[in-house]
Structure 1
Amino acid sequence: MCCELRVTFFNELAEQLEKQLKHTAEEQVTIIIASAKVNQHEGKNSVRWIITHCHVIYLFRLAAFPLNTTSITVEEEYIEEVIDDKIYTISEIKKFTAQCIQKKYKCQVSVKKVEEKTNWYDNVCTSCDEEVNIVEGRYKCDNCKRNIPFPDKRFRLATVCNDSTGYLGIVFPDEEIQRITGKNVFDIENDSTQVGDSISFPPLLKAFEKKEFIVTLIIGETNVHNSCNVYLAHAIDEPPEMLGDHVPGEVVPANSKQDSISMVSIYYTFFYLI
């Protein structure tokens, strides 16, 4: 079975592909895409290259391109799947070394605070999902080098979470917030019970506070080198029901001096990054 999809390549990868195609006289080219996101653009299916995973390989036949057997080398940012089901404490996560960078690990935390002073969503490009900026009154994508008439919107919820061993700043991602709430940014933005003159922050998002989750974190390089106290969440799940033999850890009083110092450090990091 043969299907036709439009594929968009960006930056260095697009330049490499263009050079390869100019030096071939074959009638057909086969491109192997290691990971991609399929969406719709102007009513047609399209594929955006995403260099994050290399577990699934898609084969697309692009009849408009000539065949080129020369491989193109691309530097990939590989995010390793969760190694095991161990639940790590915040204290353990803060001690992770360089071998943990770009890997995923789980922790069980309570949401101490949803940060209301930062934007709870981003305006993003409809083609590449990168955040867009307002330039001379128009939305512009620096990645695609084009103006965006009407950008898409993605959740980005900044939280301070804790367990019995410490605090972490965690940014909850769009996909997980949509799954948990059943709503997207447009739904909340146009709901008068969530956004209005008398409402400073959407109650549906504020409701994440005081709840407990098992969060799968992506460990970044800056997290390991102690220069960033804010972590990116990959997945958010409700914890299983506590069994009778479960002994919860001792909760550190929120008004202790050490806790206050940790939380202030996290808040400053949020304001710096977001």
Structure 2
Amino acid sequence: MHKFEFIDLGDLFSVASSYRNAEFPYYSADVIGVLEDYQPLKTIDTKYGDTQILKFNIADGRHSHQVTVWGALAVSTHAQYVRIVERPIIAILLNTIPSLKIYFNLDNEAVSAMRQRICTTAKGMTSSTQTESSAEMVIETLTLKQLSEKTDTKYLKSNFLCKVRVKNVKENDNWWYFCCNKNNCHEEVSKIEGKYKCFKCNRNYPIAQKRYKIVVLAEDETEAFNCVLFDRAAKRIIGKTATKLIAETIDFETTKSYPADIKQLKGKDIILKIELSDDNIMLKSSIYNATDAYDCGASLTSESVSVTASGSSSENVEV
């Protein structure tokens, strides 16, 4: 069974920038995307002698990064590529330092979900809608008071942006949970007889994913509400996965202490992407779920970045 901790392609630069270990300047990030613009294996001259490289792009519909693979890993990656028949090719870069693995069309739910999304989008697009979809989708920005007034059922599952300041972090609540492994299912699983069970999907897993679930008090000039930062939102602001932070907490703090990385959210100005839930609409709940988050100074449009993830001296990849 494969286990991944995927980072959004758009977050690679911020994750790399947050890593400050000068003695060992590598970072680990698993990414998934569609393989594009594949350039065949070729030999180049380096100061260490002749070596083989290949290049391709990995894209997720919003961001695209060039990947350069070197040495023995380039040879094995090309051998894998020429055997693939099904298109499009979904690539996974699994960065487990100090080695790195590349998978094409792996038989798992993340790959299936991405392929289905690509195929569904392609079938529904015409030449006119292609032009429209290339532009960034505009999400309405509201104050917290305006958000609380969106109680009509037509707003169920709608997304809005709110610029807020984190007034407080609820340190008495658990900041992570065991999540269902199925793609797009964010339900908490229960451990029963040594296995993790998702009652929503009715599935059992030997291993469950660890995901963020951080409760903060968010305020603006109009209101203050509790907001739950789920995995993508928390990961983007903190700059590391829940699994990574758990490991650091075990290494440097007691297991009962609240991580300093999360405490530092207090006083931070951020933009939250809020999805209105059944409770917000039907029960008029004032606890909101944040599915994404951004630094107030960050651009919300896609941009091209270039970072490096390296493996051993004989196998390395530039992304």
Within 2, Cα distance between the matches of 1:194 and 1:203? Answer: 13
Shift of 1:90: 1.1
186-195 or 201-210, which moves further after superposition? 186-195
Matched, 1:3 2:60: no
Structure 1 spans left out of the alignment, 5+ residues: 6-37, 60-81, 242-274
CA–CA distance in structure 2, aligned partners of residues 45 and 58 of structure 1: 21
1:229 counterpart = 2:286: yes
Alpha-carbon spacing, 1:56–1:87, altered in 2? closer, same or farther (3 Å): farther
Distance (Å, rounded) in 2 between the aligned partners of 1:218 and 1:56: 25
- Structure that is richer in helix per residue: 2
Q: CA deviation at 1:179?
A: 2.6
Counterpart of 2:10 in structure 1 is none
Give 3-state SS (helix, strand or coil) of 1:123's partner: strand
Work out whether 1:158 is the aligned partner of 2:222.
no
Greater length-normalized contact order (CA 8 Å, ≥ 6 residues apart): 2
**Alpha-carbon offset, residue 95 of structure 1:** 0.9
1:216 maps to 273
- Counterpart of 1:109 in structure 2 is 164
Listed as ranges, the gaps of 5+ residues in structure 2 are 1-83, 95-102, 123-135, 299-319
Q: 1:174 aligns with which of 231, 234, 237?
A: 231
Residue 90 (structure 1) aligns with = 144
Backbone CA RMSD of aligned residues = 3.9
Q: 1:204 Cα deviation (Å)?
A: 0.4
Shift in alpha-carbon separation, 1:235–1:126, aligned structure 2, 3 A? closer
In the alignment, residue 108 of structure 1 is paired with which amino acid?
K
Q: Distance in 2 between matches of 1:141 and 1:161?
A: 30
Deviation digits for residues 104-151 of structure 1 (CA, Å, limit 9, x no counterpart) = 111111111111122211112334544210224542232454432221
The answer to whether structure 1 residue 184 and structure 2 residue 241 are counterparts is yes
Alpha-carbon distance change, 135 to 238 in structure 1, aligned in 2, over 3 angstroms:
same
Shift, 1:88, TM fit = 1.2
Aligned to 1:206: 263
Q: Structure 2: which amino acid aligns with 1:57?
A: T
Where do residues 18-167 of structure 1 align in structure 2 (5 Å cutoff)?
44-47=106-109, 57=120, 84=138, 86-96=140-150, 97-128=152-183, 129=185, 130-167=187-224
The answer as to whether partners of 1:83 and 1:104 remain within 8 angstroms in 2 is no
- Contact preservation (8 Å) 1:123, 1:153: yes
Q: CA deviation at 1:159?
A: 1.1
Change in 2 beyond 3 A, CA 1:146/1:203: same
| SS state at 2:164 partner | strand
Change (3 A) 1:198 1:187: closer
Q: Note closer, same or farther for the CA distance 1:45–1:94 as it changes in structure 2 (3 Å cut).
A: same
**Identity within the alignment, %:** 22
Task: Please tell me the residue identity of whatever aligns with 1:90.
Answer: L
Partner Cα distance (2:265, 2:137) in 1: 27
Distance 2:277 2:263 in 1: 26
Report the number of matched residues. Answer: 188
Is the alpha carbon distance of 1:224 and 1:83 closer, same or farther for their aligned partners in structure 2, counting shifts above 3 Å?
A: farther
Equivalent position of 2:254 in the other structure = 197
Task: Tell me, in whole angstroms, the C-alpha distance in 1 between the residues paired with 2:142 and 2:181.
Answer: 36
Q: 1:179 to 1:101 in 2, by over 3 A?
A: same
**Would the alpha carbon gap of residues 125 and 204 (structure 1) be closer, same or farther in structure 2, given more than 3 Å must change?**
same
User: How has the CA–CA distance of structure 1 residues 177 and 56 changed in structure 2, closer, same or farther, with 3 Å as cutoff?
Assistant: farther
